[in-house]
Homo-oligomer: A and B are copies of this chain.
């Protein structure tokens, strides 16, 4: 059955990097029998330019109809003066919320060839391969009541609400168990249950869902300790699942452990496994149009799409192996270049990965 992939190039370096993803998908189609159809639509600043808003109606309709979505990046200085609701970033938030993409997969992987880029010692971080699952549509970032108000005594106070319902917790925790089943079957749920009631409910639900996954070892860790353990011994983890704000902090810290943000893909999934895939780096307007951006995070986002939405594990592994081979060959874009390696541009890197695809 042919599956439909919607490609959203976006802004800045977005068009350049997704062009390499398109090249890769077409190669998988032509040479390795992947049954997909590709379509393209504007989002972010490009959406505003095309249709007056960052998530054009037609783009949203195509996104609803697609089986999976690949996004480049959004945003740029040209759009900084727009009203809040017209900013490129709003297009991203809107598509996540319209499609109920609540499960944010943030792998932190350090290819051994790039181990020297990390601030951590190679023996601590080399070969790192962990997955952080961040709940993306609940918690303090969306919770109500919220605001700044003046109390009766005239004192102003700011407030936000960290809130999760049982079904919201259940679906993200379940997502964690499902992903752990595809990996090393160890799931660490991160909360602050010694202090926060919302975490106590979180932990209770995690324990209940765990009964359905006897093959997965569930553990719990407080968020402050998790931040310490990520620094001390990040390889101890397999899959971490946590709420929105904790996940925001921990997934960014974990990404930085690798020292090469330009290498990291991500996914945002709905309850049925449909998802939007994107590199975690931004639109990098300063280097847009120069052909020097690193396309590997986008190509690895394609690999995640093959694994988690299209259920094409062999194709996913094929892409990841090709990236490893290209790194072995010494090819590096400017952001990951070190002495003794060959500096290449976006297109040359993308073509090298396609050339390295093997049976």
Contact = CB atoms under 8 A, between A and B. Distances in A.
A161 B159 CA distance: 7
A151 B167 CA distance: 12
Contacts of A125: 119
Interface residues of A, number: 55
B196 A141 contact: yes
A99 interface: no
A156 interface: yes
Contacts of A200: 148, 158
A201 B165 contact: no
Nearest to A119: B124
A160 B196 contact: yes
A40 interface: no
Number of copies of this kind of chain in the complex? 2
Nearest to A145: B161
Contacts of A224: 248-249, 252-253
Nearest to A250: B227
Given A249-B249, A256-B232, A160 B158 contact: no
Contacts of A147: 197
Interface string A122-136: 001100000000000
A19 interface: no
Nearest to A116: B121
A158 B164 contact: yes
B197 A225 contact: no
A232 B119 contact: yes
A157 interface: yes
A228 interface: yes
B199 A228 contact: no
Given A201-B148, A252-B228, A253-B253, A162 B165 contact: no
Contacts of A256: 227-229, 231-232
A257 interface: yes
Contacts of A232: 119, 256, 259
Contact of A227 (B151, B227, B259): B227
Given A158-B163, A163-B159, A197 B227 contact: no
A62 interface: no
Contacts of A1: none
Interface string A202-236: 10000000000000000000011101111111000
B233 A252 contact: no
Contacts of A230: 253
Contacts of A121: 119-121
A155 B140 contact: no
A197 B160 CA distance: 7
Nearest to A89: B194
Contact of A157 (B155, B163, B196, B231): B163
18 contacts: A119-B232, A119-B233, A140-B162, A146-B196, A148-B198, A155-B165, A155-B166, A156-B165, A156-B201, A158-B164, A158-B197, A158-B198, A159-B197, A192-B245, A223-B249, A224-B252, A231-B256, A232-B256
The 8 closest A-B pairs by CB, nearest first: A158-B201, A158-B198, A227-B253, A228-B256, A159-B163, A157-B165, A224-B252, A231-B256
Given A158-B202, A249-B249, 14 more contacts: A120-B231, A140-B162, A146-B196, A148-B200, A151-B165, A156-B165, A156-B201, A158-B196, A224-B249, A227-B252, A227-B253, A230-B253, A231-B257, A232-B259
